[in-house]
Amino acid sequence: ARVDIAYVVGLEARGLSPHARRVLESGAVEVCEWTNYALAVRLQAAAMGVPFLPSRTMLGTDTLAKSAAKVIECPFTGKPLVALPALYPDVAAIHVHEADIYGNCRIRGVTVADLELARAAKRLIITCERLIPHDEFRRDPDRTAIPFFCVEAVCEVPFGSYPGNMPGEYFSDEAHLRTWLTVEKDLDQYLRFLDEYIFRVPDFDAYLAKCGGLPRLRELRGQEFLLDGRGG
């Protein structure tokens, strides 16, 4: 098996995933490394329908040596460039703020490479905080971040980014994420944690209930509103 990785193997400022590092360093999987930007360019290439896009990212780095990119000569300047191959995910999932039943999506805030991922993926599953009427999109089409023709399925999943945050909706559950990172340090403890919180719960609502339910989710919503200036 091979895995293409970037920083997403960690939990941002909270630190790297001990279990992911354990697996990747074990040799059980072949690792192909990329920068965040390189992955975004690869998705853009796929969205454009071209086999690769040139860039100067990763030149002179160890990441380049551990990637599948190729160094080429620019036909105009003769200088070296990195050819980043198009990336076509078999399946992608994106959580958005609002969607209609056809798959049109709204995202509040920075979209990063969401549209490129949506266009590059062979199949795209959308989960959303709220399903809204299609007429809302017809009244304000400029707010459509992902169009329906990219989407295979739409699922309404309130708090679907938990335990992460959803900008303008709720803050991340830092206590739960810290617990997650702590238990990952010991494999047996981590497997027990997964069994309790993931494999033994019947659905996502049961997982949310186990993590504190509506009282905890209201707290996280309040924290997000304080951060964006809407709090009392």
Give the mean model confidence (pLDDT) for residues 110-132: 97
- Enter the pTM of the model: 0.92
What pLDDT shows up at residue 9?
A: 67
Name the percent of the chain lying above pLDDT 70.
96
b/e code 85-124 from CB counts within 10 Å (16+ = b)? bbbeeeebebbbbbbbeebbbbbeeebebbbbbbbbbeeb
E strand or H helix that includes residue 86: none
The sheet carrying 70-73 orders its strands as: 52-55, 80-85, 70-73
Give the mean model confidence (pLDDT) for residues 118-136: 99
What pLDDT shows up at residue 229?
A: 59
Confidence of residue 15 (pLDDT cuts 50, 70, 90): confident
* Residue 142, pLDDT above cutoff 60: yes
Domains contained in the chain, CATH given: 2-85 (3.40.1080.10), 91-156 (no CATH), 174-227 (no CATH)
Q: What are phi and psi of 2, to 5 degrees?
A: -130, 145
* Residue 232, pLDDT above cutoff 70: no
What pLDDT shows up at residue 150?
A: 98
Q: What CA–CA distance (Å, rounded) separates 134 from 117?
A: 23
What pLDDT shows up at residue 16?
A: 86
Confidence of residue 230 (pLDDT cuts 50, 70, 90): low
Work out the burial of residue 204: count CB atoms within 10 Å of its CB; fewer than 13 is exposed, 13-18 middle, 19 or more buried: middle
Residue 22: which residues within 8 A CB-CB, separation 6 or more? 187
pLDDT (tens digit per residue) in 51-70: 999 999 999 999 999 999 99
- Average confidence score pLDDT of the chain: 95
